[in-house]
């Protein structure tokens, strides 16, 4: 079963291919994803790497957590499941003034 890892404190210039290459030395990488800001498209400085098996993931955590990559010390640990969030509300009209016409 694949294991998803959180990778933090990344340089804003790191590409998904570079991230995948770093983790490939520890085992088979299923996917690498860098999280970007939805408005600007700029990296948010963290991402996720999915390793094919848990042994490779544990090895990657042990060897890469705290190691320097492109001038920054990476934080690597097992990713926590994403929490479900309540739906975000609509616009101004529906919540504050339902009678206002546009």
pLDDT band at 82 (very low <50, low <70, confident <90, very high): confident
The answer to whether the beta carbons of residues 72 and 47 sit under 8 Å apart is no
Domains of the chain, with CATH numbers? 3-78 (3.30.70.330)
Question: Dihedral angle at the C-alpha atoms of 58, 16, 10, 4, nearest 10 degrees?
Answer: -30
pLDDT at 100: 62
pLDDT at 87: 78
Asked whether residue 49 carries a pLDDT value surpassing 90, the answer given is: yes
Model-wide pTM > 0.85: no
Mean pLDDT of the chain: 89
Asked whether residue 94 carries a pLDDT value surpassing 60, the answer given is: no
């Amino acid at each position: 079963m694949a294991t998803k890892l959180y990778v933090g404190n990344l340089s804003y210039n790191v590409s998904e291919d570079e991230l995948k290459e770093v983790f490939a030395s520890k085992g088979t990488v299923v996917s690498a994803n860098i999280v970007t800001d939805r408005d600007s498209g700029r990296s948010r400085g963290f991402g996720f790497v999915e390793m094919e098996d848990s042994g490779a993931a544990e090895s990657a955590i042990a060897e890469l957590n705290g190691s320097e990559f492109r001038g920054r010390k990476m934080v690597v640990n097992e990713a926590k499941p994403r929490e479900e969030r309540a739906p975000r509300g609509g616009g101004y009209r529906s919540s504050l003034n339902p009678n206002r016409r546009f």
